[in-house]
Amino acid sequence: MPVGVHRRDPAALKRRRRFLPLMGNLAMVCVLATLLGLLAGPALVGLRPLTVLTSSMEPGLRPGDVVLLREVDPSAVRPGDVLTYLPAGSAPDALPVTHRLTGFVAAADGSWNLILQGDANALPDAPVPGSAVQGRVVAALPYAGYPDLLAERGRLSWLRPVLAIALFGYGTLLVFQHFRQGRSSRSSQGPTA
């Protein structure tokens, strides 16, 4: 046999053919588990994710960041807390606002309203009743909401259904491959007597 020429080992090729699809499937399972963890994980520990849509809280929170909210009793909030609330008189489908608590002001009925302001805003928001507060920001994930932000602004509204269809198609392909490989391995074994 000439120097530098190697014979292909059929057993090694067979192992490689089994190993590569296994690694591809393992990678897909890891990606799906990560996505599931990002989507369902916060809810399991009592947190609610929310994508930042505007630049009113820059530089701390930028559009495309995801904030994690925890429910909070309005009597437990303190100046400096970053809170999410629904503006007074807003429609049921209104978007929540996330701003920093700067102080309190007495309401006509004797209760206290919250004064909130975006870090990048020159003026505070209108006073907010404590009942409008949805939660306190406990963590922020930079850039995690970019796909949601792009879909929200209509640029990639087609992305969600396309990804869902692609993942369903990939799963279907894996199932068919599994059954086809099972059938071909049984037929290659030949009849048993």
Whether the per-residue pLDDT at 124 is higher than 90: the answer is: yes
Query: Global pTM?
Result: 0.64
**pLDDT tens per residue, range 6-30:** 567 777 767 767 777 777 788 888 8
Report the candidate in 112, 124, 99 with the shortest Cα–Cα distance to residue 73: 112
Residue 15 to residue 41: CA distance in whole angstroms: 37
Between residues 38 and 84, the one the model is more confident about = 84
Classify domain 47-148 by CATH number: 2.10.109.10
User: Would you state the pLDDT for residue 110?
Assistant: 87
- Measured CA to CA, the distance from residue 115 to residue 94 in angstroms comes to 20
Tens of pLDDT, residue by residue over 57-94, are 999 999 999 999 999 999 999 999 999 999 987 777 78
What are φ and ψ of residue 30, in 5° steps?
-65, -45
**What percent of the chain lies above the pLDDT cut of 90?**
42
> In 3D, which of 132, 68, 144 has the Cα closest to residue 96?
132
pLDDT band at 40 (very low <50, low <70, confident <90, very high): confident
Taking residues 103-116, report their average pLDDT: 94
Domain boundaries, the chain: 47-148, 158-188
135 within 8 A of 69, measured Cβ to Cβ: yes
**CA 131 → CA 44, 60, 75, 145, 192, distances in Å?**
24, 26, 10, 27, 75
**What is the pLDDT confidence band of residue 184, given thresholds at 50, 70 and 90?**
low
